Amino acid sequence: MARFPCYAEAKFCTRPEFKKKKKKKKKVIPLASSHASEGRCRSYFSDNLSNDLIFSCGPHTYRHHNNVHGDDDHPEDPRRIWRIYDAIRNAHCTDRMIKITSREATVDELGLVHTDNHIENITKTSAMSKDDLLEMANSYNSIYLNNLSAFCARLSCGSLIEICKAVASGQVLNGVAIIRPPGHHAEPHEAGGFCLYNNVAIAARYLQQNHGLKKIFILDWDVHHGNGTQTAFIDDPDVVYCSIHRFDHGTFYPGDPVAAAHTTVGEGLGRGRTINIPWNSSGMGDSEYIYAFNKVIMPILYEFAPDFVLVSAGFDAAKGDHIGQMLVTPAAYGHMTHMLKSLAGGKIILALEGGYNLDSIAVSGLACVKALLNDPIEALDPIRPNPLCVQTIHEVIKVQSRYWKSLPPIYANAEDDIPTDTSAIGMDKILAVYQENHLRETYGMIKMPRLDGKDRGEFLDNVHCTQQLYNNSPLYIFIHDLGELCARTVGTNNTLRPQKSVLVDAMTQYVDYIINAGNELIDVVVPYLPTTEEEKVMLKDQQSNVLADLWSTLVATSAMEGRRIVVLATGFGCHGLVAFLNEKQKEVPRYLSSVTLVLGDDTMPMVTKKLSPWYIENSFVMASDDHPIWERTSQKMNSRTGNLVRTGKYHRNTIDSM
C-alpha cells in the first residue's frame, strides 16, 4: 500500500477562503495505533448499553486525502478527523463508545441520491493520470482529486450508513461519524465544495428505504449552506432540511442568493420542509445560535416529531475558524446537541462536514460527544442575541409560520386579504400624517419648499423644516426612520388591536434637543423600512437624491455660507447619507461642520478614501454595545468607517454627544 499518496487540488478553487500560500515543509503526523488494525478499524464495546455511543473514524479516509498539485495548506486537511478522534480518546470518551468497522458504500446505496453518470465520473478517477485528475478537478467548483478519492468518498459514506444501521436497529442509542471527505455540497449530479458524495443525504434515504423510518430531520449547522442536501429533498414531504449558515446576502459560499435565502421553502409536496436561517454577517455566536434553536428549530422539531435526526456537523462556525469567522463555542455545540437528542427517542447521528481550525474542531467535536454521552455540559453565558440575529429570525418565522403551527403566525399579508371593493390606507400614510401634524403643532415646522419632485417619490411629503431656516443659526439636517410601531394582534389572521398598539417615536427627543438649543432644523423621514436588497438599493438612492436637492437649494440661496451645519442620521438613513457624502466629497469639507451617524441593525457604511481624512476628524459613528460591529474582532477599523464610538446599551443615551 502506498504511504500518504498525494492528492490533487483544483487549480482555480472558487471557494474564497482557499488562497495560495507559500509552501512550508509539513510535519507528518503518524496514525494513532488505535485507528488501525491490519488496515481496518478496531471496535470498542461498552457493557452498559444505555451509555453506548457508536462512532466511525476510518484510517483510510485519514491517510489518503492529501494533495500533490500544489498547496499543502488546503483547508480540507487530513488531520481534521485525527484531531477530533484524538480529543475524544484523550478525554477517555472512547471507553464508553463502540467503534464500528468502516466499509465502502455500494453503487446502489450511492444511487439513492446520485445519478449514474456522477457515480461513474467519480469512480473512474481511480485510474486517471495526474494531469487528467487535475483537469477533472478544475471542471468542478472547489474540488481536488487523486486516485484514491473515489475510494475515500465511498468509505466516508459507507461508514455513516453503518452507524445509521446500528442506531436504527437499536444496537446503540446514537452515534457520531468522524469522516471525510464531507458531503453536503455534493449535488445529485455533480461534486462541489470539497464534497464528492452526499453522505448525509444518502444515509437519510437509506434509513427510509431499509428501516421504515419515514420522517427524517436533517439539521445542517455547517457555516456554509448545504446546497446539495437541500436539492436532494427539495420536494420531499417526509424530510425536513434545516440549515443555519452564513449568507452575507448571497455572497458567501456556495453563493446562491436564492437557494440559501430564508424565502426558499421547498417545492411541490415539500413546501415548508426546507428551512434556511441565513446570517448576513460574521460574528454570530452562542447567543445567536441558541436563539435560533429556541425560536425556530426546536418548535419545528417538536411539531414534526421525526423518527430520526441527522446532523451535518460542520465546525467552521466555531470560534477561531478563519473561514467561517463566527464565534460559536464548544459549550454551545454541546447544548445544541443536547437539545437535539431529546427528539426521535434519542436516535441522532452527527456526521462531520466542514471545520478548518484544527484546535476548534477538536474541542467542538469533543463537546458534542460528551453531550451524546450525557456528560455535564459547560454553562453558557446569558443569551443576548444581537439585533441582526433577531431580525433574521423574525424574517424566517414570517415565512415559515405559513407551514408550522408551532411558530407565531406573523405571515399575514394585508394586501392579499383586502377585498377589491374596499378602501384601504397604508399604515405608513397614517403615521406620516401624524408626523406632519406633530411637527407643525409642536415646533411650527412646515413642508420643505423648493424640492424637485422628480423621482423623489414618498420623500416629498416627509421633509419638513423650521420657518427661520435661512438665518445664521446653526443648521441641523436630521435623517431618520418614522418610529417603531409596537402592535398587538389577535387571531391567526393577525388582526391589529389599535387600543393595544403604540408608535414609539424615539426621534422626538432629538428634535426637542436641536430646536430648544436655538438651532434650525431640516427633518427628513425615511418613509419605509426596506426588507430586500433591491428595496435597500432603491431607498438609499432616493435618500441620496433628496439630500442632493436640499444641498442645491441651500447652496443656491447662500444658506450654507458661514454657519455651523451638522448632519445627523439614524438607522437606515445612515446609508443614504454616506452615499450622498461620497457623491459630494469635494464640497462636503467646505460646508459641513460634522456628521453624526447612529447605526441601526444593518452594516456600517463607509466613505471614499479621498473623503476619509476629513471624515475621521469630523464624524461620530455611534453603535450600541450590542451592535454586531463590536463582535467582528478580526475586522480592523480605518478612517473610512469614521470615528466609531460605543454608546452604551441604548442609543437614546447618546443625544448629549451630538
Residues carrying an active site annotation: 185
Residue for cell digits 408550522? 404
Taking the C-alpha atoms of residue 20 and residue 13, their distance in angstroms, rounded to an integer, is 10
List the one residue out of 148, 156, 196 whose CA is nearest residue 177: 156
**Residues 480 and 570: beta-carbon distance below 8 Å:** yes
List the one residue out of 399, 424, 384 whose CA is nearest residue 287: 384
Q: In this structure, what are the phi and psi dihedrals at residue 174, rounded to the nearest 5 degrees?
A: -155, 180
Taking the C-alpha atoms of residue 152 and residue 44, their distance in angstroms, rounded to an integer, is 23
Burial class (CB in 10 A: 0-12, 13-18, 19+), 25: exposed
Q: DSSP labels for 240-272? A: EEEEEEE-GGGTSTT--TTTTSTT---SGGGTT
Kindly provide the b/e burial profile for residues 534-549, where b requires at least 16 CB atoms within 10 angstroms of the residue's own CB: eebeebbebbbbbbeb
Residue for cell digits 478553487? 13
**Residues 220 and 226: beta-carbon distance below 8 Å:** yes
Residue for cell digits 415646522? 445
| Relative orientation angle of helices 533-556 and 573-583, to the nearest 10 degrees | 50
Region of 376 on the Ramachandran plot (φ > 0 left; ψ -120 to 50 alpha; else beta): beta
Taking the C-alpha atoms of residue 515 and residue 138, their distance in angstroms, rounded to an integer, is 64
List the one residue out of 115, 436, 88, 402 whose CA is nearest residue 275: 402
Residue 648: partners with Cβ closer than 8 Å, 6 or more residues away: 624, 625, 654
Residue for cell digits 440549515? 243
Q: In this structure, what are the phi and psi dihedrals at residue 372, rounded to the nearest 5 degrees?
A: -65, -30
Taking the C-alpha atoms of residue 464 and residue 431, their distance in angstroms, rounded to an integer, is 15
Q: Which helix (H) or strand (E) holds 36?
A: none
| Relative orientation angle of helices 427-443 and 508-516, to the nearest 10 degrees | 20
Q: How far is CA 522 from CA 38, 91, 574, 582, 655, in A?
A: 81, 65, 16, 20, 17
**Residues 377 and 335: beta-carbon distance below 8 Å:** yes
Burial class (CB in 10 A: 0-12, 13-18, 19+), 76: buried
